[in-house]
Structure 1
């Protein structure tokens, strides 16, 4: 809930962009977050124009090497939007999985 509130505030109140990197997330958790962003208007269905958050996941059932790269991939996405002049909020959950 806290993550959703912060991302919602960054998107709607400040016009910024958020990147969420889910390391070892459960499929259900990622799916729930995606649909909550659509319902709240932070993202458009299917992504693309008008979306204000990017979600990067490495599922629990993936090899450790793949999960380890999720944080770096999320950081690369955040750097891209920073370079485009956006204010960016970057979340990583859970770096220890």
Structure 2
């Protein structure tokens, strides 16, 4: 387990409006078909839907690889617990922080997993400068 240096609430106050950027930028993923046909907004949310066996996990792995290298990180929510074995194992990629939740938990508990991921990403952005 990681040592605790600091605690941060997952239900924190939003930044002041004047502190937020109003510019819209495209997130360059390094995946040509995504960047051309369905570009992602930097700082936005995306959804990835598809049937079984169409490559959702492969695409997510490539996004983790490319985005973490170029921009410092991402937060991902959803999927299934059994997919946890297909994402990087802890320690195999030092630039990736993993936060897991189980699908058999109540909806409120599952929502807190996404908020925890965002809190971790904000910590690395604001405190660590990454």
Measured against the shorter chain, the TM-score band is: 0.5 to 0.7
More helix by share: 1
Bigger RCO (CA 8 Å, 6+ sep) = 1
Give the alignment's Cα RMSD to 1 decimal: 2.1
Structure with larger Rg: 2
Per-residue deviation, residues 1-49 of structure 1 (Å, max 9, x unmatched): 112112212344x3x43243334x32210122134xxxxxxx624xxxx
Q: Is the CA contact 1:56–1:70 (under 8 Å) kept in the aligned structure 2?
A: yes
- What TM-score results when the alignment is normalised by the length of structure 1? 0.60
Paired residues in the alignment total 72
The reply to whether residue 7 of structure 1 matches residue 64 of structure 2 is yes
Unaligned 5+ segments in structure 1 are 36-42, 87-97
- What TM-score results when the alignment is normalised by the length of structure 2? 0.47
Unaligned 5+ segments in structure 2 are 1-57
